[in-house]
Structure 1
Amino acid sequence: MFFIDDEHEETFYLLVSRKFKENDPEYEAAFYVLTADNELRKKGMPFITPDGIDWEGIWNNDWSSGYRILLKLTESLFKSSGSVELAYGLGVWGEELYRVAMQAIGIRRKAL
């Protein structure tokens, strides 16, 4: 599995192991993205609660276009609804965010 850094890997597995939604591919894909780098951890993780993920709170942050499309993809994978301009993401993501997006799709497709 691809992780941007050690903190990404550690935080992701910590959430998966502690969360009441263990072995839930929707949550695992969202946790994977929301722990991917410092900005996502800082702005996204406060909205992971025992009751779920507060997507409205996440969207109240100021996000660059690359993060915005990654989060739209993540929310779509989580809710199994919504549309995502994936081709736009391919044009704005650097290599790391591209790999995070592809890994999140893989997680959602097959639970860990």
Structure 2
Amino acid sequence: MKIQFLNQEHETKFQELRLGMAEYYRNNKEYLSVVYIMAGNEELHRKMNRYFNTKEGMFSSDDMFNEEDFSSGNRILAKLAVHLFNDNETVSPLDIISALDDEWFQLALNAIHFRRYGISSGYDFPEEKLYM
């Protein structure tokens, strides 16, 4: 699958987060869909990072929602990340369509696409950049 990033910063952050993961999870589409969302939104990365343990494979999403304050759009993206990871949250497609601006809407759609198709274990980032 060719991954579409929002911009160079999103791609760089994704690569950094992926390299920080335990080897076992680096190609896991559930984990990578969360990392993809976190890498595309600095506030989400800052608020979600301490609850998403990529070394041990844990996501303390209940604690995250109890302890963190999210704006409405970021709450939808955070809920989508949890939903794509383990289905512990529900997010309405209508919320994604109506509450997210164009950039975050694309981030959400691409995360869903990422969760479905993942990446191959031998994936190398292509020379051709696919930014939106």
After TM superposition, list the pairs within 5 Å mapping 1:9-88 onto structure 2: 9-20=11-22, 21-49=25-53, 50-51=55-56, 52-59=58-65, 60-80=67-87, 82-88=89-95
Higher CA-based Rg: 2
Task: Pick the structure with more helix per residue.
Answer: 1
Mapped contact 1:2–1:99 kept (Cα < 8 A): no
Mapped contact 2:73–2:99 kept (Cα < 8 A): yes
How far has the Cα of 1:110 moved from its partner?
Answer: 0.6
How far has the Cα of 1:92 moved from its partner?
Answer: 1.0
TM-score for both structures, normalised by structure 1: 0.86
Mapped contact 1:4–1:37 kept (Cα < 8 A): no
Mapped contact 1:66–1:92 kept (Cα < 8 A): yes
TM-score for both structures, normalised by structure 2: 0.75
Residues 1-45 of structure 1, C-alpha deviations (whole Å, 9 max, x = no match): 332343321121122233121110000000111121221122122
How far has the Cα of 1:102 moved from its partner?
Answer: 0.5
Provide structure 1 residue ranges, at least 5 long, that are not aligned to the other structure: none
The two structures, once aligned, show a CA RMSD in angstroms of 1.7
How far has the Cα of 1:57 moved from its partner?
Answer: 3.5
Q: Does 2:112 correspond to 1:105?
A: yes
Q: Which deviates the most, 100-109 or 33-42?
A: 33-42
What SS class does the counterpart of residue 44 from structure 2 fall into? Answer: helix
Q: Which deviates the most, 95-104 or 84-93?
A: 84-93
Runs of 4+ in 1 over 4 A off after TM superposition: none
